[in-house]
Structure 1
Amino acid sequence: MKYGSLIIEKKEYVYLKRILNISGYVEDFETQKSLQLLINELKNAQIVDETDMPDDVIRFNSKIRISSEKACKKNLELVIPSQQDRKKGKISVLTQLGAALFGHSKGDIMEYNFPSGSQKLKITDVKQEKSEKKISIKI
């Protein structure tokens, strides 16, 4: 991991904690697994101010390029649950892949369990939306 641990901006951290508190009652097993993964990841994350957020860290509205060890490449955008649109490559932070990617940075390699088996994924690029398009998170 490039920075030693996940890095999360303060307002996004508070927003995630709220989502996790509300979502604790979901019955879908896959969503429960995603939530537990995210809860565990947040325990050791570095929480930083907006001004201290590195540009290459995956956060809300980040455009991400990943590649697998089987040479599969995919472009994604990480979004809040209500903006998920798989056809457009927009994945929710509450999906298993979204939860696994959140807070990681460009160059990180991670193990991910696909239905077809475990594979290593490399985050090959991370781009941030312009600040006026960033999600507005009220605390």
Structure 2
Amino acid sequence: MKYGSLILEKKEFVTLKRLLSLAGNHKDAARKNSVLRLQSEMETAIVSDEEDMPDDVIRFNSEVTVVSGDGWENNFQLVAPTESNYSNKKLSVLTAMGLAVMGYAKGDVIDWEFPGGAKSLEVKEVKQVKVESNQIKL
């Protein structure tokens, strides 16, 4: 990990904790395990003020490119569940992929258990997208 642990912005940390507490009741074992793993990683996360957030860290509204060793690549924008729109490549933070990448940085390699099996992903690109309001709609 580039920064030693996840890095989360203070308001996003609080929002994410709230979302995860609501999402922990899934029957799907892989998704439930993803929620539990992110909750565990958040216990040691670096929580920063907005102005101290590195530009290469994945957060709400970031545009992300991840690749796997087998040549698979995915581009998406990480969003709150209410903003999710698969056809516009807006992926909810509560999907397995969203849970896997939140708080990681460009260059990090993430080993994660997805519904289709374990995958090792490298974060190739992170771009911050400014939104009109810094409020995250739940």
Shorter-normalised TM range: 0.7 to 0.9
Quote the residue 1:76 is aligned against. Answer: 76
Q: Deviations over 1:57-98 (max 9, x none)?
A: 000000001111011121111110111122222211111111
Q: Give how far 1:12 is off.
A: 0.2
Instruction: Give aligned pairs, total.
Output: 137
**Are the counterparts in 1 of residues 68 and 120 from structure 2 also a CA contact under 8 Å?**
yes
Aligned-residue CA RMSD (Å): 2.0
Kindly provide the amino acid, as one letter, of the partner of residue 15 in structure 2.
Answer: Y
Kindly provide the amino acid, as one letter, of the partner of residue 103 in structure 2.
Answer: G
Q: Give how far 1:127 is off.
A: 0.2
Quote the residue 1:21 is aligned against. Answer: 21
Quote the residue 1:5 is aligned against. Answer: 5
* Whole-angstrom distance in 1 between the partners of 2:93 and 2:7: 15
Partner of 1:60, secondary structure, is coil
Q: Give how far 1:56 is off.
A: 0.4
**Are the counterparts in 1 of residues 107 and 124 from structure 2 also a CA contact under 8 Å?**
yes
Partner of 1:71, secondary structure, is coil
Quote the residue 1:60 is aligned against. Answer: 60
Kindly provide the amino acid, as one letter, of the partner of residue 61 in structure 1.
Answer: N
Kindly provide the amino acid, as one letter, of the partner of residue 42 in structure 1.
Answer: M
Q: Give how far 1:135 is off.
A: 4.2
Distance 1:131 1:60, change over 3 A: same
Q: Deviations over 1:11-60 (max 9, x none)?
A: 00011112223334444544423321221121110000000000000000
Distance 1:137 1:38, change over 3 A: same
Matched, 1:136 2:118: no
Quote the residue 2:43 is aligned against. Answer: 43
Q: Deviations over 1:89-123 (max 9, x none)?
A: 22111111111100000000111334554332110
TM-score, reference length from structure 1: 0.87
* Whole-angstrom distance in 2 between the partners of 1:137 and 1:76: 18
Partner of 1:125, secondary structure, is strand
